[in-house]
Amino acid sequence: MNAMITVAGLKKSYGELKVLRGVDFAVERGSIFALLGSNGAGKTTAVKILATLLKADAGQASVAGFDVATQAGDVRASVSLTGQFAAVDEILSGRENLVLVAKLRHLANPGAVADELLARFGLTDAGARRASTYSGGMRRRLDIAMSLIGDPQVIFLDEPTTGLDPEARLEVWNTVKQLAAGGTTVLLTTQYLDEAEQLADRIAILHEGRIIQNGTLGELKQLLPPAQVEYVEKQPTLEDVFLALTRKEEAA
- Non-local CB neighbours of 182 within 8 Å, separated by 6+ positions: none
pLDDT value at residue 1: 57
Q: Structural domains in the chain? A: 3-88+134-214 (3.40.50.300)
pTM assigned to the model: 0.84
* Helix ranges (DSSP H) in the chain: 43-50, 72-78, 94-104, 110-120, 136-147, 166-181, 193-199, 217-221, 238-251
61-113 residue pLDDT tens? 999 999 999 999 999 999 999 887 668 899 999 999 999 999 998 999 999 99
Identity of the residue numbered 146 = M
130-166 residue pLDDT tens? 999 998 888 888 988 898 898 899 999 998 888 778 8
Count of residues making up the chain: 252
Cα(53)–Cα(22) distance, integer angstroms:
19
